[in-house]
């Protein structure tokens, strides 16, 4: 019989937090995302824009979405370390924060 756990399944290396009140729905992050884990919501924010959202799994933590986003603060990328990849604890970093260090 097959095992119930897949040992070849990859853990997420990153996590994206989207601020729907800052997003203007331009879609640049959706087009730029290499693993295609960002989609466009059907909901509208207080500006009347449809906003981008993280699909919930598959983020590599590359930060491309952060780099192409024209709205400061709309996207935050968290890079998960190996020890905490399956837990909520993560090391918060964005490309801007990494270059400042």
3-class DSSP assignment, residue 71: coil
Domains of the chain: 14-100 (3.30.70.20)
Helix, strand, or coil here: 73? coil
What pLDDT is stored for residue 8 in this prediction? 52
Per-residue pLDDT at 37: 95
Is residue 99 a contact partner of residue 66, using CB atoms and an 8 Å limit?
A: no
pTM of the model: 0.69
Q: Give kind and range of the element (H or E) at residue 64.
A: helix 64-68
Which residues of the chain carry a pLDDT beneath 50?
1-4, 85, 87-101
């Amino acid at each position: 019989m097959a095992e119930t756990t897949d040992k070849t399944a990859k853990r997420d290396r990153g996590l994206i937090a989207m601020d729907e009140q800052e997003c203007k729905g331009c879609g640049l992050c959706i087009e730029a995302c290499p693993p295609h884990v960002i989609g466009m919501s059907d909901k509208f924010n207080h500006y009347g824009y449809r906003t981008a959202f993280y699909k919930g799994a598959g983020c590599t933590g590359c930060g491309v979405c952060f780099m192409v986003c024209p709205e400061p603060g709309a996207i935050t990328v968290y890079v998960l370390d190996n020890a905490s990849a399956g837990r909520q604890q993560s090391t918060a970093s964005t490309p801007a924060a990494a270059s400042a260090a």
